[in-house]
Chain A
Amino acid sequence: MKRICLIVLIAAASCTSAQNKEQVFSMNGLGSLKLGLSQAEVEKLLNEKIVLPNSLDTNSHFYQDTARLKYKDIDVQLEFDRNYYAPYKFRMRLIGIRTSCTLCKTASGIGVGTDRSKILTEFDKYHVRIQPGYVTYYETEKGEGKSTVSVMDDGASLQDGSDAYTTVFYLLNRKVVSFELKAKLTGDR
């Protein structure tokens, strides 16, 4: 009986620790979902075929597309861009992960619900940009209490041609409501 209880406890701890590991995010990804993965690699990870209709558009040279999926029961919006590995040949590559899941946190506990001051303390040595409204590449959604806090690594800050990672926090009344992990990647993967 004691042995069975011990086995159950170990299994439960493993499941719990596996869930915790999958919910931790850093600048380069959420758990096993890493920025830079190819579409095929993401499909294998999610065990699901991803439909990206816009990626078939051959008129545009640089093209991006998004898909809403579940990763370990977490609703995520994934953004892909074209990664050319030969003339006229490309793979779709993961360059953005967005979620509002409260279970997703950095190793130090930053996530949905965190106050702006904690983000500023945690990322004290980084290039941090604070903007009114919800700012994306394409538009800014204005509104009372809305702001965007972007944390850039050295590559994103210096824009020196190296891989660049940015974590974007969307805040309402200084509290995080969602976040996005973004990458500008060089070279083929």
Chain B
Amino acid sequence: MKKILPFLFMLMATTAVAQNKDYILSTDGIGALKLGMPLTELEKILQTKVKLKVINIDPVVLVETIKAKYKGIDVEIDLWKRQDYIAVDGIRTRSPLCKTASGIGIGSNKLQIINAFEGYNIDILPVYEGEDKPVKSKTKTMINVKEEAEGYAILFHLLNNKVVSIEIFPDYDDEE
């Protein structure tokens, strides 16, 4: 029994590390879920066939959002039909399991995010509400983090200075 316990402990610790890697948040995705990933690869990761309702059915529409389960957590995935394949173009989650390597995720505050991403391009954005005369929200903020001025970004949505949801997407200036 004494010989088995250390072995069991090591096995559990290794499994825990492997599970954490599944939820590591970065500018290119969550764990094995990556921006730009083809639909065929996405289906392998999700271990399920994705049923499209719009793309490939309506020839004009090139984007579609699906809800899925990735390693037990709820995610929303934006799909975009490129010239010859459909690819992941955005990922959203509210799961507290998803954190950056330095521990930033659901529940983190503005200062923690800014200090964790030293050297990155960071936009702290007020949220405007209302269509006719937009008014700045007193409770909502967004923080957009990118390695370069343009590229893949993590967008943290905050409510009362706490992250409540996370989005990863390609952020390029359309005007250029």
Contact = CB atoms under 8 A, between A and B. Distances in A.
Contact of B126 (A120, A126, A129, A130): A126
A131 interface: yes
B124 interface: yes
A125 B120 contact: no
A132 B119 contact: yes
A70 interface: no
A131 B123 CA distance: 9
Interface string B114-147: 1000011111111010000010100000000000
Given A125-B136, A154-B136, A158-B134, A120 B111 contact: yes
Contacts of A132: 119-121
B142 to A, nearest CB: 10
Most buried by A among B114, B126, B136: B126
Contact of A157 (B119, B121, B122, B125): B125
B114 A120 contact: yes
A157 B123 CA distance: 11
Contact of B121 (A117, A126, A130): A130
A125 B126 contact: yes
B122 A130 contact: yes
Nearest to B161: A124
A127 B124 contact: yes
A120 B136 CA distance: 17
A127 B123 CA distance: 7
Interface in A100-114: none
A177 interface: no
Given A154-B136, A158-B128, A158-B134, A129 B123 contact: yes
B144 to A, nearest CB: 9
B122 A129 contact: yes
A141 to B, nearest CB: 14
A74 interface: no
A127 B122 CA distance: 11
Contacts of B123: 127-130
B162 interface: no
B149 to A, nearest CB: 8
Nearest to A148: B121
Contacts of B125: 127, 157
A171 B111 CA distance: 17
B81 interface: no
19 contacts: A120-B110, A120-B111, A120-B114, A120-B124, A125-B126, A125-B136, A126-B126, A127-B124, A127-B126, A128-B123, A129-B122, A129-B124, A130-B114, A130-B120, A130-B122, A131-B149, A132-B121, A154-B136, A158-B134
